[in-house]
Amino acid sequence: MPRPRKPRFVCQHPLISAFFPKEGSLDDSLGEVILSVEGLEAIRLVDLEDLDQEDAAGRMNVSRPTFSRILSEARAVVAEALVNGKILRIEGGTYELCPIKCSKRGVGRGFRGCSFRGCKKELWS
């Protein structure tokens, strides 16, 4: 029996759950592909926040080889949707939201953001 999968940390739920091609119908005749929430987080960390894979793996609480696999699978799903004109749905996966641990709180400082594993995400800004 395989060991249970360790949950990955994701900083936020996706804002949008699906993307559709502009041309064509919105039914399932186009076909669809599923991008996991942790796959989207991997793409966000590397391609949007410009982190290297080692730092991004730490933020998601996985090893670097596991992160590389998640990223590769996510990019393949996105490429299939774009090239073949398929519906891209973002759902599922084994993940937890990042725990918020701010070490910069104090008198006169206010709430400046998340310091979890080097996360510099500003909250409520």
Instruction: Per-residue pLDDT tens, the chain, 125 aa: give them.
Output: 888 877 888 988 888 999 988 876 555 567 999 999 999 999 999 999 999 999 999 999 999 999 999 999 999 999 999 999 999 999 988 888 887 654 444 444 344 444 445 454 443 33
**pTM for the predicted model, two decimal places:** 0.74
Give, in words, the CATH class of 8-21+29-99.
mainly alpha
Alpha helices by DSSP H, listed for the chain, are: 37-43, 53-60, 64-84
Answer whether 118's CB lies under 8 Å from 59's CB: yes
User: Quick one: pLDDT at residue 112?
Assistant: 42
